[in-house]
Structure 1
Amino acid sequence: MPSRRSFLQATTLAPFVSLTTSQPPIATIKPDRLKPGDTIGLFCPAAPAFTRETVQIAEESLQALGFKTIVGPHAYDRYGYLAGRDADRTADLHALFENRNVKAVMAIHGGWGCARLLPLLDYDLIQRNPKILIGYSDVTALLLGIYAKTGLVTFHGPVASATFNAYTVDWLKRLLIEGEALTMKNPTDKGDNLTQVQDRITTLRPGLARGRLMGGNLTVLSHLIGSPYLPDWKNAILFLEDTHEDVYRMDRMMNHLKLAGILDQISGFVFGKCTDCGPGSGYGSLTLDDVLTEYIIPLNKPAYSGAMIGHIKDKFTVALGIDAEMDATAGTIRLLESAVG
């Protein structure tokens, strides 16, 4: 029988295993672009639809864009803070992907619960029936997991309960309907100010970077590390956003990405908006600028912050899995190809 000392020595000398367990590169599948008259399926992968008015406004907004809508049967279910049991929410997603009349699948909103579906999903079914999947916040888990397992390009963009204003709708239409290989650039309107005040970009490291766009909500992404539902990060352009997080939590999650080796693998970095993520009243708190400076600048890779990505009214729709070029000096992300077929 081996001694306790030999066991400890063997354990100590065991090779390091990466926490990322990310999936190897997989062939990219582009969904078909949307056309007027297409049907968009709405479902609740996390929190339930609390009022019928919210869903009604979402349907009317999409119908005003020329689309038809159907709503998953479990959207109003309640299981605590979830829209019913995991199996039922999964069944809604499967049914929408399997329905040949449905051309896009859009989450009504986020909350918490999308990651609970990842072990239950039929990835072969999704791969056989590729279509647009769009949402943000907690939906990041589905966007990353489905892309990692199937190669299907997914979209970090508005949920159905979002504000469909002119800015948000324009970016969505250009990407998903017109199929444009667009360049995402913040608005530059100064209003009646002497210089631009709103929606500025901050260059952290100047330069150009190329790679697959990949990312989403930082909290959700960081909690998938160590699971098989993350993509390969090699030479990816990582974009992140978040909301209502204390700075020490942002620090902790950025450190997690660093320790897992993700930050070392990427080719470039874009931070969108962190809504209501101030230092608060805590003594000696770092700022979000401090955190980004500490983790991103030493990478010596092109990086900027302030992109129109996040829990904000005016937002880009960003394709996960599409090759792009980012210019950290100009604060732009240029797609090198269309994100839809």
Structure 2
Amino acid sequence: MKKHIYIYSPSSAVRDKAAFKRGVKRLQALGHEVELDEAVLATHQRFAGDDATRLAAIARAAASGADVALISRGGYGLTRILDQIPYKAVAKAIDRGTEFVGLSDFTAFQSALLAKTGAVTWAGPAIGEDFGAEAGADDIMEACFDDLLGGQGEGTGWRMPARDSADLPAFRSIHDAVLWGGNLCVLTSLLATPWFPAIDKGVLFLEDVNEHPYRVERMLDQLRHAGVLGRQKAIVLGQFTGIRKVPHDRGFGMQAVVTRLRGLIKPPVLTGLPFGHVPTKVLLPVGAKVEVAADGRNVFMVWGHRHPHPH
């Protein structure tokens, strides 16, 4: 199943060149044709080239005709250029069959594209931290990526942590809801801008890294006070990693954040989604209609068969 994968850098500069090279070699070893954007390793300050360079890279990715346009890494950079991205060209590329995949800072691109065009992208791996991981690429992540390439992925499932599911009220299945979200910090930064998707009765998934639980709670409260959380059919929390606790937290952590949130909003808050800055991550179709059901601690999210576009 040889596919054409285009690697580009729309955000921060690639700093771990070894991981980047391992990731490229891993995709090539899987039999894929890997095309590197001409500016994929460019550097300007902390960015992968200046704003014009990264905008041009996005345009080249859209024009590449590749099966997948995959980011080298996240970091920071896309919110600087949201008012200049060629959204129509990207949406047309998606219509022609190019799947755009990424996470973290890429949430800004995905959210803005969804708000402007309704086009579906995929929350998924990056070349360096995932395919180029020093310990090797995660098996589940690779299997999910293969499903995307083959047009076979129809959904995902996971088990909520027992401590989180104990106080979850009776959960009814959800039908015909748009899946959206991504990195909590990036998404919250888009609130009240044209790049924030106006989605009601959707399924909002969130993750983050290196944010203390009080910062996570503050961002969740911002979304809650803005009316965003209460308008959804469900909130799905992925992995919140890199948390550094301090003595005066006195038991305040993500569990306390989740418990409080459940007491403040009507939509169910599900936890344990295998997505975020972690090796084991599923791929999620941002902007697609999904169905969600739970059986005890077991959660199932289905988006049905998405036929790959013929080139």
Tell me the TM-score normalized by structure 2.
Answer: 0.88
Whole-angstrom distance in 2 between the partners of 1:151 and 1:233:
11
* Pairwise CA distance, 1:80: 1.4
Match of 1:159 in 2: 126
Match of 1:86 in 2: 51
Between 233-242 and 124-133, report the one with greater CA deviation: 124-133
> What percent identity do the matched residue pairs reach?
25
Whole-angstrom distance in 2 between the partners of 1:254 and 1:274:
13
Whole-angstrom distance in 2 between the partners of 1:175 and 1:330:
26
Between 293-302 and 200-209, report the one with greater CA deviation: 200-209
* Pairwise CA distance, 1:38: 2.1
Determine which of 49, 53, 56 is the counterpart of 2:14: 49
Match of 1:145 in 2: 112
8 A Cα contact 1:308 1:315, kept in partner: yes
| CA offsets 1:126-158 (integer angstroms, 9 cap, x no match) | 122212111111111111111221222111111
Q: Which amino acid letter does the alignment assign opposite residue 277 of structure 1?
A: I
Whole-angstrom distance in 2 between the partners of 1:338 and 1:201:
33
C-alpha spacing 1:64/1:184, structure 2 compared with 1 (3 Å): farther
Determine which of 23, 38, 42 is the counterpart of 1:77: 42
Task: Report 1:85-104 matches (<5 A).
Answer: 85-100=50-65, 102-104=66-68
In angstroms, what is the RMSD of aligned CA positions? 2.0
Match of 1:333 in 2: 300
Whole-angstrom distance in 1 between the partners of 2:123 and 2:306:
12
Task: Report 1:25-44 matches (<5 A).
Answer: 36-44=1-9
C-alpha spacing 1:79/1:282, structure 2 compared with 1 (3 Å): farther
8 A Cα contact 1:175 1:181, kept in partner: no
Whole-angstrom distance in 1 between the partners of 2:198 and 2:261:
20
Q: Which amino acid letter does the alignment assign opposite residue 304 of structure 2?
A: E
Alignment: residue pair count: 294
Determine which of 175, 198, 202 is the counterpart of 2:164: 202
Q: Which amino acid letter does the alignment assign opposite residue 71 of structure 2?
A: A
Determine which of 93, 114, 122 is the counterpart of 1:129: 93
| CA offsets 1:84-126 (integer angstroms, 9 cap, x no match) | 11111110110111122x2211111111112122111111211
- Kindly name which structure, 1 or 2, has the bigger radius of gyration based on alpha carbons: 1
C-alpha spacing 1:179/1:147, structure 2 compared with 1 (3 Å): farther
Whole-angstrom distance in 1 between the partners of 2:139 and 2:70:
19
Q: Which amino acid letter does the alignment assign opposite residue 59 of structure 1?
A: V
8 A Cα contact 1:41 1:104, kept in partner: yes
* Pairwise CA distance, 1:183: 3.1
Between 278-287 and 141-150, report the one with greater CA deviation: 278-287
Stretches of structure 1 that go unaligned for 5 or more consecutive residues are 1-35, 188-198
Whole-angstrom distance in 1 between the partners of 2:190 and 2:212:
20
2:87 matches 1:120:
no
Match of 1:302 in 2: 268
Tell me the TM-score normalized by structure 1.
Answer: 0.80
Task: Report 1:167-246 matches (<5 A).
Answer: 167-186=140-159, 202-203=164-165, 204-207=168-171, 208-210=173-175, 211-246=177-212
Secondary structure of 1:124's match?
helix
8 A Cα contact 2:6 2:70, kept in partner: yes
